[in-house]
């Protein structure tokens, strides 16, 4: 279990819960490939030292160092987009190593057979556009080496048939991997769009188009934390449509839904850019007003209440009016979110009990 945990920790170095899944996957693969890269090239390099193949040993040990450097880059928390730098270094190191193996031939001329590693690595770390470009540059480089007159740029000797088939097969493999990467990216983007769509639907009330209780709860947590951290004022307004049951009973639920929707749009249009409003319940709305004290919140509440009172709604062409009641509360640093909402709700009930169509500031009584 300790070994399994050690491996898991090693591979997850640099990952973060706040990253998107694809980024974390790239970091994990960079760790894995870096480990395989520097381990394998180190072993092969030491083997070359034992065989006294000094040039090959030097190249392999340099490659091992570069692969290990990609690991060190991922560990560096101060470097921005470390995983991209690490992935680029892995790709460049791999390509340079492959160029050398083609040049030198490797063990018994088998060095060029390693080049098929290049397409998946280049496309994974570089994406479709950058990866394809890098593969194209690699193909140009090795083609120039392989088919330069009289094999002047090669230390190894290859037949024309071997060189041409090596290049054709590499092109085929590269095209297949490029098509796979294109399909993968397309599927990922579609999945991401669907995920965001469902996530948005889970946070937004479909009828009013406003945030729902879940969506507003997330905003409340963020704004409460910010207000406490920066010692900023914060106010809530709880709003309820007056006599909404009568509207439903007399005009029907379809007209009632239209009232909820139109009031929501009125609120949304009238608020400041940094304010938030949510449909908190059936006919209830909750406003979150950052950097706003209770007097400023009261002025906003009265402006919204007056706007609704003056607005005409229609039932089969017959106009009718709707009023709302508002409860205003300025949040104290010691308040929890639920407690602050409860106190704004108390202000709403005070407005209801005072005759409706009014705004009331609730002040918590000190004991």
Q: Annotated catalytic sites, by residue? A: 283
- Measured between its terminal Cα atoms, the distance across the chain in Å is 56
Number of other residues whose CB lies within 10 A of the CB of residue 199: 11
CA triple 22-23-24, angle to 5 deg: 90
Q: How far apart are CA 269 and CA 265, in angstroms?
A: 6
Of 85, 120, 71, 117, give the one whose Cα is nearest residue 98.
117
Q: How far apart are CA 352 and CA 241, in angstroms?
A: 10
For residue 102 the two structure tokens come to: 């083609």
Give Cα 244 to chain centroid, integer Å. Answer: 41
Of 206, 116, 205, give the one whose Cα is nearest residue 166.
116
Q: How far apart are CA 73 and CA 125, in angstroms?
A: 15
Helix/strand/coil for 218? helix
The two beta strands, 324-330 and 359-361, are parallel
Alpha-carbon distances, residue 69 vs 37, 50, 99, 237, 321 (angstroms): 11, 25, 20, 56, 71
Q: How far apart are CA 2 and CA 92, in angstroms?
A: 34
């Amino acid at each position: 279990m300790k070994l399994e945990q050690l491996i898991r920790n090693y591979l997850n170095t640099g990952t973060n819960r706040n990253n998107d899944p694809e980024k974390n996957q790239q970091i994990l693969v960079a760790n894995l490939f870096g480990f395989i890269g520097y381990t394998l090239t180190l072993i092969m390099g030491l083997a070359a030292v034992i065989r006294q193949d000094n040039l090959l040993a030097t190249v392999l040990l340099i490659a091992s160092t570069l692969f290990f450097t990609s690991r060190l880059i991922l560990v560096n928390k101060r470097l921005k987009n470390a995983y991209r730098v690490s992935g680029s270094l892995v790709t460049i190191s791999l390509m340079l190593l492959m160029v050398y193996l083609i040049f030198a031939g490797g063990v018994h001329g088998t060095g060029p057979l390693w080049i098929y590693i290049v397409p998946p690595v280049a496309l994974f770390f570089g994406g479709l556009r950058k990866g394809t470009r890098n593969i194209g540059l690699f193909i140009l480089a090795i083609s120039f080496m392989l088919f330069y007159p009289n094999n002047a740029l090669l230390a190894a000797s290859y037949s024309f048939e071997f060189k041409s088939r090596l290049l054709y097969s590499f092109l085929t493999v590269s095209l297949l991997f490029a098509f796979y990467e294109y399909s993968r990216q397309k599927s990922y983007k579609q999945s991401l769009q669907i995920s965001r769509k469902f996530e948005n639907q889970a946070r937004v009330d479909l009828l009013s188009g406003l945030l729902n209780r879940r969506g507003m709860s997330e905003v409340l947590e963020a704004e409460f934390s910010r207000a406490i951290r920066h010692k900023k004022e914060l106010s809530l307004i709880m709003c309820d449509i007056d006599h909404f049951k009568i509207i439903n009973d007399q005009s029907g639920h379809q007209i009632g839904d239209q009232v909820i929707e139109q009031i929501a749009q009125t609120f949304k249009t009238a608020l400041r850019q940094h304010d938030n409003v949510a449909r908190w319940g059936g006919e209830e709305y909750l406003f979150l007003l950052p950097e706003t004290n209770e007097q400023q919140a009261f002025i906003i509440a009265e402006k919204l209440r007056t706007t609704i009172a003056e607005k005409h709604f229609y039932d089969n062409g017959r106009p009718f009016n709707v009023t709302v009641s508002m409860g205003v509360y300025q949040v104290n640093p010691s308040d929890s979110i639920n407690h602050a909402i409860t106190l704004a709700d108390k202000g709403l009930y005070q407005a209801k009990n005072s005759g409706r169509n009014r705004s009331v500031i609730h002040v918590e009584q000190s004991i």
